[in-house]
Amino acid sequence: DEFISSPPRKTVRFGGTLTEILLKYEKGDTTDFELLKHQLSDPDIKDAQIINWLHEFRASVAYLTKELEQLVNILLKLPWLRRSREVVEEYLGFLGNLVSAQTVHLRPCLRMIVSQFVPPRITIREDDVDISDSDDDDENISENFDTCHRALQTVARYVPSTPQFLMPILVEFFPFINKSERTLECYVHNLLRVTVYLPILRLQILELIIEKLLKLDVSTPQQDIEDAEETANNCASEEKSTEEGLFDMEEDEDRKGNKVVSPSIERMAHPLAERLDILMTILFSYIKDVCHVDGKLDISNTKDLYRDLVSVFDKLILPTHASCHVQYFMFYICSFKLGLAEAFLDHLWKKLQDPNNPSVIRQTAGSYIGSFLARAKFIPIVTVKACLDLLVNWLHKYIDNQDTGANAYCDVALHGPFYSTCQAVFYTLIFRHKQLLDGNLRKGLAYLQSLNFERIVMCQLNPLKICIPSVVNLFAAITRKYQLVFCYTIIERNNRQFIPVVRSGTGGDLVQTCTNPLDSFFPFDPYILKRSKKTIDPMYQFWEELSAEDLENLKKPIKKGTSEDEDDDFLKGETPQNDGVVEIAPNSYESNTRSPASSIGSPADCYVPYPL
């Protein structure tokens, strides 16, 4: 009974040799051809059968013309990846023969390979509904990806034009952002692997990946991420307090030490932020691996990758307003060598001063310069001074040109790049003033006095009225302390002249106070994605919270005769460290009235009382 009920081993094939079947098909006899298609489509087909058929197909590729496209598609759907090594090798040989003899099938072959760049899909049936998702438990997934890249390299070796046909397919198969994290992770990882053996596609692939990352980034504002984290932490605290009432202390200790709990600490509560975090970690790893050979920085590789990344930065990042995290790929690669950081600053400087660039691009370039100089620990103070000299000299020349003109009045639309540059200078001074004055106070003060901030602040263009108030307040406090310029009179006058914007809507009149007329932002505000921030934090300059003593010190101007030995504690204090208590950054989408305790990492909206 057992013998009768068991299916026979499928080692028998019908219909004669492949050549005979194809010749009969050409003459109109389709019986054997349909039988062939049926045998190849059988989900229970054996390895031995696949090998036999592939061997015959390799010898008969001349017959596989455009008219037999349907048969070729069935061959491309064969489950070859999860078969024995013999099947895999035979299939790779067949692909090479097919594309070299019949290039008309190049696209279908490439589509088949790229479709394998994500984990296989499994269907789960719940309540009469098919739920399809990636199979993350496939043990051979890494080996399968290796085989896919071998297949792609085989095709590229036989058909030199493969890259131009491959790129549109890579774009088409990019998973939607609502797919599982594992699916996105695998696809991006495999795209970056393609750049290793098809370097001609690297720039386009980087553009594709960063464009998708950018969409994720702007879809998840920093405030939404922080709110999700706060909610998750509150829920975790409630669960913990409930569990403490149910379990004794010994069990509680066991649970705290359990490794199962630890991944939740790494995960982002916001689902899109979790995807972005994973993909940014992959991108950072790729940049590091390309630039380092045997653990040492390879200058040639690094320069080539830097050029590609700057190109992507100009095309995608610079025109995008208020992205929070993706732009850090430039921050990261610049940290490898000072020359790269200086090249990036020079690149931004050229964008800023070029009048042929759109005003919004020039303003954004100014924001990047200020944020980069303030936040990058790897930029030495000598480079900061060189950049301040460039920026301040440009500001003075701009004022010279406006003094005699008809446009010498406060207007963001007319002078956007000027105000953006002022804010970059103010922001840099807030973060770097201690280092600028460190060592030799008299020499440092002489340098800051040579920048002539008083002329910039007092000019008809009135930059203190346009820059973000939190930056203006800290700049005013610091420059007053060192008697560089007294800003408070101008700030008070600006406040008196300020007219609220009144908008009429269906809900009645709404009074709005615009605290950011420049609509500027600081691109290198604190990085908050949990996994990938580990790469950024060691090279990142956090803002140290101002203590009550520091605030008092800011109110006390130093005496002009102060010698180097009489420096007060505020002057001798260390530069801000990332292990200090930190506060909120003034950024483009927050007013200066936001509570500083609600976030981390940057100058708080500091209010230093006007001196009486």
Q: What is the percent of the chain with per-residue pLDDT over 90, rounded to a whole number?
A: 52
Instruction: Tell me 130's DSSP state.
Output: E
The residue ranking higher by pLDDT, 123 or 84, is: 84
For residue 515, what pLDDT is reported?
64
Residues ≥6 apart with Cβ < 8 Å to 359: 416, 417
Overall average pLDDT of the 48-61 stretch: 90
For residue 529, what pLDDT is reported?
94
Q: Which of 280, 360, 353 is nearest to 321 (CA)?
A: 360
Which three-class secondary structure state does DSSP give residue 7?
Answer: coil
Spatial contact of 216 and 275, defined as CB atoms under 8 Å apart: yes
pLDDT digits (tens, 9 = 90+) for 236-289: 776 666 555 544 444 444 444 443 334 456 789 899 999 999 999 999 999 999
For residue 585, what pLDDT is reported?
42
Domain ranges of the chain: 1-121+139-164, 363-502+516-524
For residue 474, what pLDDT is reported?
92
Q: What is the percent of the chain with per-residue pLDDT over 70, rounded to a whole number?
A: 75
What would the 3-class secondary structure string for 12-68 be?
A: CCCCCCHHHHHHHHHCCCCHHHHHHHHHHHCCCCCHHHHHHHHHHHHHCHHHCCHHH
Specify whether the backbone of 248 is left (phi greater than 0), alpha (psi in -120 to 50) or beta. Answer: beta
Q: Which of 458, 451, 456 is nearest to 433 (CA)?
A: 451
Rounded-to-integer distance, Cα 255 and Cα 257, Å? 5
Q: Which of 77, 93, 87 is nearest to 37 (CA)?
A: 77
CA 355 to chain centre: 29
pLDDT digits (tens, 9 = 90+) for 299-342: 999 999 999 999 999 999 999 987 899 999 999 999 999 999 99
Overall average pLDDT of the 414-435 stretch: 92
Overall average pLDDT of the 106-116 stretch: 95
Is it the case that residue 426 has pLDDT exceeding 80? yes
Specify whether the backbone of 294 is left (phi greater than 0), alpha (psi in -120 to 50) or beta. Answer: left
Token pair belonging to 41:
């489509």
E strand residue ranges, 334-447? none
In the block, residue with structure tokens 């998750």 = 232
**At 135, is the pLDDT very low, low, confident or very high (cuts 50, 70, 90)?**
low
Overall average pLDDT of the 343-354 stretch: 96
For residue 582, what pLDDT is reported?
31
